[in-house]
Amino acid sequence: MLKNRKILICVTGGIAVYKAVALVSKLSQAGAEVKVIMSESATRFVNPLSFQVMSRNDVYLDTFDEKDPAVVAHIDLADWADLVLVAPATANVIGKLANGIADDMVTTTLLAVTADVWIAPAMNVHMYGHPAVMRNMSRLHGDGYRFIEPSEGFLACGYVGKGRLEEPERIVELIKARFDDVQPAAPRLLEGKKVIVTAGPTRERIDPVRYVSNFSSGKMGYAMAEAAARLGAETVLVTGPVELEIPAGVRAVHVESAREMFEAVLAEFDTADAVIKAAAVADYRPKTVHSGKMKKQEGDASIELERTTDILKELGKRKSHQCLIGFAAETDRVEEYAKGKLERKNLDFIIANDVTNPQGGFGSETNVVTLYGRDGSSEPFPALEKKELAERLLSRIFGGGRNDR
């Protein structure tokens, strides 16, 4: 599965360097061609000879140690790699990379890389949770870097918590899955297109401490945004409040209310080629929003609600060239309601699912949907992980392929 894949491992200083030796060994056994760059501090934990033996390649240590006079080593390595993995990644190298600092062989090479860069942090649990480290990781995530989250357990410093470098076997699985995803022709169906995706719930405030909302996790919308980016689109994710990481290569706009979501979508709409409306937007909001906390009183209380803007219907009225794709999360008469929504809101496609299905409800890792088209077509999709389902849906919508690949 990894035969002839070129993987560059950047090893930085921490006790988890010993795991990187095993990682290089396993990648080599899987058929990958592996090269290693070590920071100076990494050499304090493991001798470079260990990596040379496991990779069967020279190990790079110094920006000024040019092994081949015909090339500039750090540029040549950056151009060579199909994938770059920083493992273990210390707080120090994460901070340097987030701020564009290039003061050794690792960071100089990383700034010249155009391939995907994955970062596998390993550090003390309190270091990992420090605001500066979290801020740097967030910046890198926004720049398109992917993180392999550390696992929880007993750390070398004696603490128990999150900070252990993910196990080499799991990292190899992730790398295999990445290349497996791109091997089947991986058409860039959305190259040159701009796609807006909405995701998550909205919150409609009652007072400073209470709001009206729903159970949407945002997982399906985030999966659609990730798939659109992978297929080459300039992707804008307009997201309500959720506990999810922004996918690599996606520009996020954070909103809270239905009004804010509508305004954010409209700001991007004229230049968009497609809108995928996966958010679960509140249909109603409190007519009166209290400036102070509502106090508990004797007896019942009632809140008068008013309609929010029907974002998808408004987009249907305004669209010129855009492809509009909606979602219909229903509990009964799914097909009837989905087809009605498709017609009323002037959509091109609608993706319908029964949220009472345990394989496709709010917060689940899988979904079971049916895609309905304006041309009268309908196509069911079986229970699939949301990331896989998202890519199949977009391939079907924009490429015309069937979902049984």
Taking the C-alpha atoms of residue 56 and residue 68, their distance in angstroms, rounded to an integer, is 17
Alpha-carbon torsion (133, 134, 139, 144), positive or negative = positive
Q: Which residues of 100-125 are buried (b: 16+ CB within 10 A; e: fewer)?
A: eebebbbbbbbeebeebbbbbbbbbb
For residue 366 the two structure tokens come to 């899988």
Taking the C-alpha atoms of residue 359 and residue 269, their distance in angstroms, rounded to an integer, is 33
> Is 324:350 a contact under the CB 8 Å cutoff?
no
339 appears as a binding residue in the annotation: no
Among 75, 134, 157, 186, the active-site one is 157
193 appears as a binding residue in the annotation: no
For residue 53 the two structure tokens come to 């033996």
Strand 116-121 relative to strand 83-89, pairing:
parallel
Beta-bridged to residue 2, according to DSSP, are none
> Is 265:222 a contact under the CB 8 Å cutoff?
no
313 appears as a binding residue in the annotation: no
The reply to whether 157 belongs to the active site is yes
345 appears as a binding residue in the annotation: yes
Taking the C-alpha atoms of residue 403 and residue 10, their distance in angstroms, rounded to an integer, is 38
194 appears as a binding residue in the annotation: no
Contacts of 58 (CB under 8 A, 6+ apart): 35, 52, 67
Taking the C-alpha atoms of residue 382 and residue 380, their distance in angstroms, rounded to an integer, is 7
For residue 224 the two structure tokens come to 């659609």
Contacts of 234 (CB under 8 A, 6+ apart): 193, 194, 195, 251
For the annotated binding site for CTP, the residues are 283, 293, 327, 341, 345
> Could you list the active site residues?
157
For the annotated binding site, the residues are 283, 293, 327, 341, 345
